[in-house]
Copies of this chain bind each other. A is one copy, B any other.
Amino acid sequence: MGKTKPTRAETAESMGARQREISVSEFFLKNRHLLGFDSPRKALLTTVKEAVDNSLDACEEAGILPAISVELRQIAEARFQVQVTDNGPGVVRSQIPKIFAKLLYGSKFHRLRMSRGQQGIGISAAGMYGQLTTGKATRIWSKTKNQKQGHRIAVQLDTKTNKPVIIEDVEVEWLPTFHGEDVHTEPESFRHGTCVSIEMEATYVRGRLSVDEFLKQCAIVNPHLQLHYRVILLKKDNAAAPTAEQQTELIQPEAPWQVFQRAVKSLPPPSKEIKPHPHGVELGVLMAMLKDTSARSLKQALTQDFSRVSDKAAHFICDTAGLSPKARPARIAHQESEALFKAIAEVKLMRPPTDCLSPIGEEQIVAGLQKEIVADFYTAVTRSPTVYRGNPFQVEVGLAYAKPGENQDLGGDDPIRVMRFANRVPLLYMGGGCAITKAVSSVNWKSYGLPQPKGSLPIGPMVIMAHMASVWVPFTSESKEAVAHYPEIVRELTFALQECGRRLSVYLNRRKRAAEAERKRGYIEKYIPHLALGLQDILGFPEPEKEKVETNLKDMLERTRLQV
């Protein structure tokens, strides 16, 4: 039996001897709920999400119209093989191990540009989870345009050192035949690409928090994506088959591919990388940038390493700080960098460039909603880009409102449904902790004609979709499920929601008046024959004249109604 150690009366020395470094992998292995791997159900979604995010980013960066296939193959009661294949540019062989089996490794963290991935954690974390729960390695097939052959590499993550361990590394033909490319409509586009396959403890459940829902929403906000999806489940009654041989026999052989056809044949406008804006840079970061710059003079550092700093602005800053524009940046000591920091705060600069962002656009949002949600009224607002903590961001809101009874999924007595997106990625979990939900709940929807319990979502047959696009989305955790409550972000969301609300209110009022007029017209119409009869009685005109009077009265009524 394991013995317990007495621990009282430690000394500084005995405690010091136990201090050691914690590898980032060990940290996240123990805290895997932070990465979205707290349950077998969520683990499946998180894995698909990370793989699809990477594929979309890679395709868009390489200028390739993305075609992605997602396959979930059940291999035991609570075990799945997740396989995601894309037609992207592929990954050069030397980078594969680190990209797929090392946490905090990537190309997107250090640049200011909108992309789905940003942390360099996701796909390696999925592999780490697979390894933890099944002991199996992550397998990657990849072929770049310039390679004659593809590669198949199997890697594991050494969690003690956060380094990849290569288990297998062979040249193979791209693409592997088992992958199901027979159903792809564009096999020629699959001449290069990447396929990642992870075996893991997982359970497949349908519903609002499922892979199905994620991929559906993904297709809505990425209309340029061609997506193939299938789930191969074990036959239920034999799911607990004890040996590997039996399980293989039991697999349903003919699960069909579900295809989400791409709606547009062009990529979204490319988002560009930008330099940091001086007004969003904190003192400590400014100091580090001055230390590391390749510029030879302070003026050059200011104009070259930052966006929106003209020669004139650089001179103004140097003058205000009492520093020479020719000073060597690295030499600027602490006292001076603080003066510089204060001077920067005083100079007027253009706002950061915003071509680093790639919003969906109002038309596309309405088109996406119309494709997905049966409703009577659609609208969308894309706000102008703005800035939080120096990071450009942009907010978009779409709204769909169904007539009562028009849409079975939208109960008129239920809270409205909120679909959340960040950099074109659907967010499914943690809605309660998200700035988007908070903004929707804090708008006063009563003034737009919707009932709303205090501080809650409004009630009605309505869907709101909100998209936050930024060079750096501040998520509430590494699993990237909810946007943090930065006041600037909540404010922009509120403005967009209010604008949609005002339009909804116009629509609802018009509908209300139309219904009212309809009701009145019904009443009047009933009396038109009697009115005509009365007139005939008084004026004594013949029968055909009476019918003409009736028609005239109906016309008048119609005209009045149209003016309502």
Contact of A310 among B1, B18, B26 (CB under 8 A): B1
Asked if residues B356 and A4 are in contact (CB atoms below 8 Å), the reply is yes
Q: Closest B residue to A192 by CB, please name it.
A: B12
Q: Closest B residue to A341 by CB, please name it.
A: B135
Chain A contact residues: helix, strand, loop or mixed: loop
Asked if residues B62 and A9 are in contact (CB atoms below 8 Å), the reply is yes
CA distance A68 to B477 in the complex (A): 32
Asked if residues B303 and A1 are in contact (CB atoms below 8 Å), the reply is yes
**Does A563 have its Cβ within 8 Å of any Cβ on chain B?**
no
Given contacts A109-B27, A270-B8, contact A15 B61 (CB under 8 A): yes
CA distance A99 to B19 in the complex (A): 8
Given contacts A24-B24, A34-B478, contact A1 B484 (CB under 8 A): no
Given contacts A105-B19, A478-B34, contact A61 B7 (CB under 8 A): yes
Instruction: List B contacts of A92 (CB < 8 A).
Output: 12-13, 16
Asked if residues A19 and B131 are in contact (CB atoms below 8 Å), the reply is no
Q: Closest B residue to A27 by CB, please name it.
A: B104
**Does A371 have its Cβ within 8 Å of any Cβ on chain B?**
no
- Copy tally for this chain in the complex stands at 2
Instruction: List B contacts of A18 (CB < 8 A).
Output: 107, 111
CA distance A133 to B338 in the complex (A): 10
CA distance A355 to B8 in the complex (A): 13
CA distance A21 to B106 in the complex (A): 6
Asked if residues B104 and A24 are in contact (CB atoms below 8 Å), the reply is yes
**Does A522 have its Cβ within 8 Å of any Cβ on chain B?**
no
Name A330-367 residues within 8 Å CB distance of B.
334, 337-338, 353, 355-356
Q: Closest B residue to A349 by CB, please name it.
A: B1
**Does A75 have its Cβ within 8 Å of any Cβ on chain B?**
no
Q: Mark A300-333, 1 if CB is under 8 A from B, else 0.
A: 0001111111100000000000000000000000
Q: Mark A19-31, 1 if CB is under 8 A from B, else 0.
A: 1111110110111
Asked if residues B273 and A22 are in contact (CB atoms below 8 Å), the reply is no
Instruction: List B contacts of A6 (CB < 8 A).
Output: 270, 272
Asked if residues B22 and A135 are in contact (CB atoms below 8 Å), the reply is no
Asked if residues A91 and B12 are in contact (CB atoms below 8 Å), the reply is yes
**Does A474 have its Cβ within 8 Å of any Cβ on chain B?**
yes
Given contacts A16-B94, A20-B107, contact A272 B5 (CB under 8 A): yes
Instruction: List B contacts of A15 (CB < 8 A).
Output: 58, 61-62, 89, 91, 107
Instruction: List B contacts of A145 (CB < 8 A).
Output: 11-12
Contact of A287 among B104, B135, B270, B432 (CB under 8 A): B135
A18 to chain B, nearest CB (A): 4
Asked if residues A132 and B284 are in contact (CB atoms below 8 Å), the reply is yes
Interface residues of A (CB under 8 A from B): 1-2, 4-13, 15-16, 18-24, 26-27, 29-31, 33-34, 38, 58, 61-63, 89-92, 94-95, 98-99, 102, 104-107, 109-111, 113, 119-120, 131-135, 144-146, 159-160, 192, 270-275, 282-285, 287-288, 303-310, 334, 337-338, 353, 355-356, 430, 432-433, 472, 474-478, 484-486
Interface pairs A-B: 9 shortest CB-CB: A2-B275, A132-B284, A2-B307, A12-B144, A16-B92, A18-B107, A22-B104, A4-B272, A8-B270
Q: List 9 A-B contacts (CB under 8 A).
A: A7-B113, A7-B271, A8-B61, A12-B145, A15-B91, A19-B98, A31-B478, A132-B285, A135-B284
